[in-house]
Amino acid sequence: MNPSIDPPASPGAGAAPAQPGSTLTAAGPRGAGALLSDSLAMYRAHGKAFIAAAAIALVPVYLVHAALAAALLPSEASTSRLEERSERMQRRAAELERRSAAGTLTADEALRAQTDLLRDAGESAADASRAVAGLGAFLLSMLIFVPLSMLGTFFGTAALIPLVQDRARGGSLTAAQAWTEVGRRAAPLLYTSVLAIAIVLVGLFFLVLPGIVLGFLFAFAAPLVMLAGESGFAALKRSARLVMANAIPTALVLIALALLSMVAQFVGGLLVPERFVFLHTLLRDAVSLVVFPLPIIGLVLLYREAREAHPSPPPTLTSTAAAH
């Protein structure tokens, strides 16, 4: 048996004693406040290991995002140049109109001014076309990058799960050892993540809200693959049942992840001016890596509680075959 996979939960006998940072109690699931408190305590004690494990999956995603932004998005310099040229054209047009009304504009001056205006208009149109084309290419690249980012987040989450499980038992697993556990479950992780991503993207296509709801219901998919040995549709269905049984604390954990990421990206964006597109984008994403493990710790601890409170039924031959 894979050491990273928990045996089926059974109340009472055989349960591991609670360690500092664990939310497992004899009384069952606790409130969101206690959950977040335990998560913060575990993060403070072992933050370096959590960040190192998550970075292996997320830093390549951040580099791709920064490279796409630097290569395809309009630069601050080109935007400023376009604005300056537009203002210059407006000033020239106003001057021509004023002098023409006053009768002080000669035919040669009018011809030169019109030539300059036409040249500036052509250059502005060319710059605007390049900016629009770059923006369009960037948006098209998001069709590839968004699933890649979701895949990186799924595997980054998966790498944190053995660490949380280990630290809750008082262990000292390293980031490299955590990724060894991920490697052992790579095939079911990939299958489950691709399946979940495809379903969520289809939901996002249909008025966005269905995709958000589906992503919420699949919150426990990675822990189920890593800790319960489930995969595919079986893991997604089981995740939906556990989330529905723990909807409020799960929602609070995911909202915390979103808010922390937004704040971290805002702070990261202040570190480097926007004109340095690559570094600005990279640091904005990288700072969010620092806070990424915290809500994931809470999610895994919540999963441990939920699985204790709602143990899965013994697998049958038919359900095992269907999961694969």
What is the block-wise mean pLDDT of the chain (324 residues), using blocks of 10 residues?
A: 45 40 44 79 93 96 90 68 71 75 74 76 72 72 85 95 92 94 95 94 85 92 94 94 89 83 85 86 90 90 82 47 43
- Domain map of the chain by residue range? 32-70+149-323
Structure tokens belonging to residue 155: 């595997």
Total residues belonging to the chain: 324
Cα 26 to Cα 11, 18, 144, distances in angstroms: 9, 9, 46
User: What is the pTM for the complete model shown?
Assistant: 0.72
pLDDT at 322 (0 to 100): 42
Structure tokens belonging to residue 285: 């994403």
pLDDT at 13 (0 to 100): 36
Distance CA 156, CA 296 (A): 10
Per DSSP, helices labelled H in the chain are 32-72, 76-102, 107-168, 175-184, 186-205, 209-217, 221-228, 232-245, 247-271, 277-291, 293-309, 317-323
pLDDT at 153 (0 to 100): 93
**246, 29 in Cβ contact below 8 A?**
yes
pLDDT at 77 (0 to 100): 59
Cα 35 to Cα 12, 39, 128, 153, 170, distances in angstroms: 21, 6, 51, 22, 17
DSSP string computed for 64-103: HHHHHHHHHSPPHHHHHHHHHHHHHHHHHHHHHHHHHHHT
pLDDT at 12 (0 to 100): 37
Distance CA 309, CA 98 (A): 81
pLDDT at 81 (0 to 100): 65
pLDDT at 210 (0 to 100): 87
Cα 306 to Cα 4, 171, 185, 223, distances in angstroms: 18, 22, 22, 11
pLDDT at 191 (0 to 100): 96
**177, 162 in Cβ contact below 8 A?**
yes
Structure tokens belonging to residue 87: 């203002």
